[in-house]
């Protein structure tokens, strides 16, 4: 799914309060933010700052770092399944913009710069968007699933995530969840992005495609890596504050020596806490 924006925590709270007071002006604020980001892009290009990953290779780099896939069609509350089927069309277009991209040493991958604006002219159709936790139809909806896949693969590499914005709400009970809650991404063109930088001496490659049932992805590398990574959740649960429910967990990563198989480090990646839109007291809330 694609999310109409959630940004850094403090700014996001301020924007929501501002948008609630002046909802008619919110679209204007979004466009102003987009223009500012575009100006930053131009400035970075002119200054020769961190180069953006743009080059591609049709062939695979020799080493597979991680392979992952995610189910294309899922039941999400009472969301119209037509939007789920339309999402597949949008994902094919977004994958075509990303597949084969090489992230060379010193380069930064930007989802928004590669995929661009998801317009009807490019072939994008109505998929599911999230706006303040509410599902609705919107052109290009559904491509967050690709951002989620990319983020998950990058967490299993030594690359550095430089921008990632999570959803502000937990809108649906778990349905066939494979990844931990709280590792997804919100992307919205030129507003919130998924970016990661290659601070290593190894070149990485993104391979993504839409299969019959799954969104398929591989992260590949030019050489074998000394470490592998295991990402998991801890301290998962719900808590109630007044009449509202919140979901929380922590996302941790273990670093494993490939030669010995021993864990050589661990790090806390993220503490998640989000307002729950559904009733978490139902058995299905945590996949029950």
pTM of the model: 0.83
If one compares 226 and 73, the residue with the highest pLDDT of the two is 226
If one compares 228 and 279, the residue with the highest pLDDT of the two is 228
Output the average pLDDT for the chain: 85
Between CA 268 and CA 81 the distance in angstroms is 36
Longest dimension (CA), the chain: 59
**pLDDT at residue 74, rounded to an integer:** 78
Other C-beta atoms within 10 Å of 165: how many?
22
Q: Is the pLDDT of residue 162 over 80?
A: yes
Q: Is the pLDDT of residue 4 over 50?
A: no
Q: Is the pLDDT of residue 3 over 50?
A: no
Interval 80-106 mean pLDDT: 95
Interval 4-10 mean pLDDT: 40
Between CA 165 and CA 144 the distance in angstroms is 11
Between CA 33 and CA 38 the distance in angstroms is 9
Other C-beta atoms within 10 Å of 256: how many?
17
Q: Is the pLDDT of residue 171 over 90?
A: no
pLDDT band (50, 70, 90) for residue 7: very low
If one compares 199 and 20, the residue with the highest pLDDT of the two is 199
pLDDT band (50, 70, 90) for residue 145: very high
């Amino acid at each position: 799914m694609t999310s109409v924006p959630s940004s850094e925590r403090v700014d996001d709270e301020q924007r929501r309060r501002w948008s609630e007071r002046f909802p008619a002006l919110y679209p204007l604020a979004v466009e102003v933010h987009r223009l500012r980001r575009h100006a930053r892009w131009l400035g970075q290009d002119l200054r020769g700052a961190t180069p953006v990953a743009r080059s591609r290779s049709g062939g695979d780099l020799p080493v597979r770092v991680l392979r992952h896939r995610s189910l294309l069609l899922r039941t999400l509350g009472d969301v119209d399944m037509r939007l789920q089927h339309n999402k597949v069309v949008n994902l094919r277009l977004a994958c075509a913009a990303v597949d084969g991209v090489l992230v060379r040493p010193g380069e930064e991958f930007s989802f928004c710069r590669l995929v661009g604006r998801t317009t009807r002219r490019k072939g994008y159709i109505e998929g599911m968007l999230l706006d303040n936790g509410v599902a609705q139809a919107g052109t290009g909806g559904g491509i967050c699933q690709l951002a989620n896949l990319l983020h998950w693969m990058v967490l299993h590499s030594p690359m550095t995530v430089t921008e990632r914005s999570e959803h502000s709400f937990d809108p649906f009970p778990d349905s066939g969840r494979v990844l931990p809650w709280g590792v997804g991404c919100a992307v919205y063109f030129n507003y919130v992005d998924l970016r990661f930088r290659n601070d290593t001496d190894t070149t990485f490659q993104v391979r993504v495609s839409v299969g019959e049932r799954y969104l398929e992805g591989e992260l590949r590398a030019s050489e074998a890596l000394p470490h592998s990574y295991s990402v998991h959740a801890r301290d998962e649960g719900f808590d109630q504050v007044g009449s509202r429910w919140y979901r929380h967990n922590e996302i941790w990563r273990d670093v494993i020596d490939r030669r010995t198989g021993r864990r050589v480090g661990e790090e806390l990646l993220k503490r998640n806490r989000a307002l729950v839109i559904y009733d978490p007291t139902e058995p299905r809330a945590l996949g029950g």
